[in-house]
């Protein structure tokens, strides 16, 4: 069993550790975490039954695979801290938006095996969508990292050049969907429908529509036609969305997301 380390004990570390424990890729004895906030560290360790470490450097020393689960702005500090412990044998997994493996290799002065990952928060419930790209890594080690994430949902392997664009597709897109859901629930409430009943219907509609897209074999356009009878209610709603340029608004929003990732890129 590989030893897996985490630097940062936040939302993403919690979600990924949950998936690893569920899948049995590693047990609590083989997972170590460090965070600058001692309370957060102890809480996660207790909650998941995993080990704690007193420094980022010691996490890397005592792990085969280390997940860098801190915000992009904390990367330079963390890379400086772990530099003495990284060797060509150590696998690093980076989950930060816009941080390239080139930047990491340069900062630590070692072209160690790496996997760049873009997960999303539904990973917390085991229904995540994660994109992964690899660098300089053996098939066996990549498969191990891949399984850590596939235990928590759907996965896709991409080229690293696509990792900034994919943020709009799976990483930040849950926020766009929540906004869409909020508008639908708020509308229902305005029409006098109980909020919890509306939320139940909206969530089931989102899940059901996603399942239709996935399983029916129909394209989005065909599925839209199947809901829209001529002269009916759906067409009226679609006409309004078209008038407001909904489709292009989504494209522009996703493009803004990618542009920001490019700006923040290191
Ligand atoms: N949340 C998402 O939807 C999402 C999706 C895809 C990818 N990601 C990526 O996942 C990464 C982690 O996000 P998150 O939401 O899990 O963040 P988070 O909840 O803020 O967790 C990061 C933790 O690391 C701690 N930390 C900061 N500097 C540290 C250091 N030098 N050594 C050890 N620990 C340190 C932070 O403490 P402080 O609070 O004191 O800074 C915090 O407790 C980010 O890079 C983000 O881009 C997030």
Give the pLDDT confidence of 90-139 residue by residue, as tens digits: 999 999 999 999 999 999 999 999 999 999 999 999 999 999 999 999 99
**Band of pLDDT at residue 149, cut at 50, 70 and 90:** very high
Q: Residue 172 to residues 46, 97, 190: CA-CA distances in angstroms?
A: 29, 10, 28
Q: Are residues 19 and 59 in the same domain?
A: yes
- Residue closest via CA to ligand 1's atom 28 equals 74
CA distance linking residue 201 with residue 198, whole number of Å:
5
C-alpha of residue 251 to centroid of ligand 1, in Å: 28
CB of 11 sitting under 6 A from ligand 1? yes
Model pTM score: 0.93
- pLDDT tops 90 at residue 207: yes
C-alpha of residue 12 to centroid of ligand 1, in Å: 7
C-alpha of residue 261 to centroid of ligand 1, in Å: 16
CB of 185 sitting under 6 A from ligand 1? no
Query: Which CATH number fits the domain that encloses residue 242?
Result: 1.10.3730.10
Using alpha carbons, select from 8, 24, 138, 25 the residue that is nearest to residue 71: 8
Domain count, the chain: 2
Domain boundary residue among 168, 183, 218? 168
pLDDT at 25: 85
Range of the domain at 153: 4-168
Q: Would you tell me how many other CB atoms lie within 10 Å of the CB of residue 228? A: 15
Domain boundary residue among 168, 195, 215? 168
Which residues share a beta bridge with 31? 4
Tokens for 211, please give them.
């399942």
Please report the atom of ligand 1 found closest to the CA of residue 121.
Answer: 3
pLDDT digits (tens, 9 = 90+) for 224-238: 999 999 999 999 999
CB of 163 sitting under 6 A from ligand 1? no
pLDDT at 266: 82
Q: Residue 159 to residues 36, 96, 121, 140: CA-CA distances in angstroms?
A: 32, 16, 22, 18
Q: Are residues 126 and 14 in the same domain?
A: yes
**Band of pLDDT at residue 204, cut at 50, 70 and 90:** very high
CB of 8 sitting under 6 A from ligand 1? yes
C-alpha of residue 103 to centroid of ligand 1, in Å: 18
93, 101 contact by CB (below 8 A)? no
Q: Are residues 45 and 11 in the same domain?
A: yes
19, 148 contact by CB (below 8 A)? yes
Using alpha carbons, select from 80, 72, 38 the residue that is nearest to residue 56: 80
Q: Are residues 113 and 224 in the same domain?
A: no
C-alpha of residue 144 to centroid of ligand 1, in Å: 23
């Amino acid at each position: 069993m590989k030893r897996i380390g985490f630097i940062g004990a936040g939302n993403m570390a919690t979600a990924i550790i949950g998936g690893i424990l569920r899948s049995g890729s590693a047990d609590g004895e083989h997972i170590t975490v460090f965070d600058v906030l001692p309370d957060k560290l102890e809480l996660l360790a207790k909650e998941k039954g995993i080990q704690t470490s007193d420094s980022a450097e010691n996490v890397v020393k005592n792990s085969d695979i280390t997940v860098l689960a801190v915000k992009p702005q904390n990367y330079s500090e963390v890379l400086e801290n772990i530099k003495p412990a990284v060797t060509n044998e150590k696998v690093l997994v980076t989950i930060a938006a816009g941080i390239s493996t080139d930047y990491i290799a340069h900062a630590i002065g070692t072209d160690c095996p790496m996997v760049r990952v873009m997960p999303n928060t539904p990973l917390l419930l085991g229904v995540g969508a994660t994109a992964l790209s690899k660098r300089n890594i053996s098939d066996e080690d990549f498969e191990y990292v891949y399984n850590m994430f596939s235990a928590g949902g759907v996965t896709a392997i991409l080229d690293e050049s696509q990792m900034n664009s994919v943020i709009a597709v799976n990483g930040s897109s849950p926020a766009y969907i929540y906004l869409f859901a909020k508008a639908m629930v708020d509308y229902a409430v305005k029409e006098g429908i109980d909020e919890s009943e509306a939320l139940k219907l909206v969530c089931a509609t989102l899940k059901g529509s996603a399942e239709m897209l996935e399983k029916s074999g129909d394209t989005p356009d065909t599925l839209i036609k199947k809901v829209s009878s001529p002269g009916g209610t759906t067409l009226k709603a679609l006409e309004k969305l078209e008038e407001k340029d909904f489709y292009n608004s989504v494209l522009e929003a996703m493009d803004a997301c990618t542009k920001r990732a490019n700006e923040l890129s290191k």
